[in-house]
Structure 1
Amino acid sequence: MAMFLPEGPPDRARTWSRAVGGAESNVACHLAGLGVPVAWVSAVGDDALGRAVVAEVAAAGVEVSGVVVDPGRQTGLYLKESGTVRYYRTGSAASCLGPEVLDRIDFDGVHLVHTSGITPALSESCLALMRALFAMPRRSHRISFDVNWRPALWAGRDRAVLAELANAADIVFVGADEASEVWGTAEPQRIRTVLTGPEMLVVKQGEHGATLIERDRAPVFEPALRMDVVEPIGAGDAFAAGFLAALLDGAPPRHRLRAGHLRAASALRTREDVGPPLPPEVVAALLDADERTWAAWRMSR
């Protein structure tokens, strides 16, 4: 979607800066920045905002040939207002996607498909698309699913769909706060009793850190980096990308969690959803740092 940021207090701003955001496209842009070949599948309107979104995602290194241009619907957008996000996407091109999208995707050689709990809440056709994707044979790919709980989207809808899809995924990301709202618990082991299906469950615990629970392995917790936060929105997508890039690279559990934290740190330092990455030398040093060094590190703006 297109994203707009106010230049000054939102209620008095006369100038707004345009950027690009959205859960799946954020992850795609971060993965591309980490050197992972990645494609983004979505839909935009045949309008200036849609063209700008596609151009900027492509400029980040993401393959966009799977993006549909819908001449009859508009591109979705949202406004960031001092930590609050206001969405304008009812009837947008992306909200009208359906299972037919899968017929245009070549899954040969694909190792991972990343999705989120936002898509099935957008419309009945989007829910059908997600169910069809999750029901497909997985010859070479795994499915990654970020719960991305959005209460307003699920008003009047069956939230049991989130557990249904999460349990059909291979890798699941969920915030402890999200799990508390949806399933009544923020404790990783108890969340695991709800989500028994995934091979990997990653519970994001905000500024405290994140816990990885893999089947037949002891849970692994890694504390988050201490840092000055400019804007928290988008950090979860960045974390997912860092974790998934490390997973695709064959990294061990603790390394995957640290890679997620480090990528999230890059998003926490900017008002946009995808910001400049941390210096490579800082990332390399912290990935392999001992526990004491990691815990003592503080990142300023």
Structure 2
Amino acid sequence: MVALRGEGPLKLGGTLRVSVAGAESNVAIGLARLGHRVHWTGAVGADEAGELVLRTLRAEGVEVSGATRDATAPTGLLLFEPRLPEVTRVHYYRTGSAGSRPAPAAVERVFATAPPRVLHLTGITPALGPAARATAGHALRLARRYSTLVCLDVNFRARLWTADEAAEVLRGWLPSVDVLIASGDELPLCLPGPAGDPAEDAARLLALGVREVVLTHGADGATAFTGAGGPHHQPAVPVRAVDPVGAGDAFVAGYLSALLDGADLAGRLARAATTGAFAAASRGDWEGAPTRAELSLLGAPPGTVVR
């Protein structure tokens, strides 16, 4: 989507900063900055807003040859409205957008050309409508065919669909998911029956075949559960937070980056906490994502000048 960021209540007018946003594209940029080859597949309108999205992704080193331009639908729009120092309201304009109806053929071309090691999906795409839901489901079937690891970030958005709608889709996806990332209140969406405490829910998900369940706690860090050994907790990396938007996507990018590098569970969580902290300490959805060379900067003493 194109993202417009205000500096106060939208009804009062004022200036808006233009950028792009989207959970999957945020993760794609985060991974590309860490040196990985990344392909983003989706749809934008055949308009200037769509060109901005594709141009931004290309500039960040993300491959977009599988993206499509829809001449019959506009590029989606997202408005950010800061209301309090730590509270931002978002307004979606995505119904009927090009991104709500991506083409399955584009996903097929990517898999046929170079099957990816990891397919990353979020619970946002299927919330956009039947076409997006069907294409995401098709991507899951292709991942199974090509033995591609599947990472799902639940990323529930109540403004896009109801909890019942989300649960029906996500529970159907669960047999195809290898790595599940969610907050404690999102885990029940993936499970039939009554919810337990988050640790119990994670254990149930592992019993259903998910290989790794990563439970995010915001400022309290994250905990990963696997079938081998007990859970591993990673505290958040302390930073002066200026904008929490995009921190979750940066966390996912760090986790997948370390997974692709062959790091163990502790290493994956540590890198994820670091990349998430970079995002929280920077304004914007993806702008603060670190490069691999910058990962060590958060350990530098306050006031350090890097020359």
Answer yes or no: is 1:171 the counterpart of 2:179.
yes
Counterpart for residue 12 of structure 1: 12
Show the 5 A alignment for 1:185-204. 185=196, 187-194=198-205, 196-204=208-216
Give the 3-state SS of the residue equivalent to 1:105 in structure 2: helix
Q: Contact (CA 8 Å) 2:45, 2:73: kept in 1 or not?
A: yes
Counterpart for residue 117 of structure 2: 111
Change (3 A) 1:280 1:247: closer
Counterpart for residue 210 of structure 1: 222
Q: Deviations over 1:70-117 (max 9, x none)?
A: 011000010111111111010000101243333322353421111111
Moved more, 111-120 or 156-165: 156-165
Change (3 A) 1:119 1:46: same
Q: Contact (CA 8 Å) 1:145, 1:169: kept in 2 or not?
A: yes
Q: 2:272 aligns with which of 257, 260, 270?
A: 260
Give the 3-state SS of the residue equivalent to 1:125 in structure 2: helix
Q: Contact (CA 8 Å) 1:146, 1:173: kept in 2 or not?
A: yes
| Distance in structure 1 (CA, Å) of the matches to 2:222 and 2:175 | 20
The one-letter amino acid paired with 2:74 is: Q
Give the 3-state SS of the residue equivalent to 2:186 in structure 1: helix
The one-letter amino acid paired with 1:135 is: R
Counterpart for residue 85 of structure 2: none
Q: C-alpha displacement at 1:17, in angstroms?
A: 0.6
Moved more, 83-92 or 159-168: 159-168
Show the 5 A alignment for 1:143-158. 143-155=150-162, 157=165
Moved more, 181-190 or 6-15: 181-190
| Distance in structure 1 (CA, Å) of the matches to 2:262 and 2:188 | 31
Q: Deviations over 1:240-283 (max 9, x none)?
A: 00000000001111111010011111111223101234586773
Give the 3-state SS of the residue equivalent to 2:54 in structure 1: helix
The one-letter amino acid paired with 1:145 is: L
Q: C-alpha displacement at 1:197, in angstroms?
A: 2.3
Change (3 A) 1:168 1:49: same
After TM superposition, where is structure 1 displaced by more than 6 Å over at least 4 residues in a row? Answer: 279-282
Give the 3-state SS of the residue equivalent to 2:74 in structure 1: coil
Answer yes or no: is 1:84 the counterpart of 2:89.
yes
TM-score (norm: length of structure 1)? 0.88
The sequence identity of aligned pairs, in percent, is 36
Counterpart for residue 44 of structure 1: 44
| Distance in structure 1 (CA, Å) of the matches to 2:121 and 2:141 | 14
Q: Contact (CA 8 Å) 1:177, 1:205: kept in 2 or not?
A: no
Aligned residues between the structures:
292
TM-score (norm: length of structure 2)? 0.86
Show the 5 A alignment for 1:242-253. 242-253=254-265
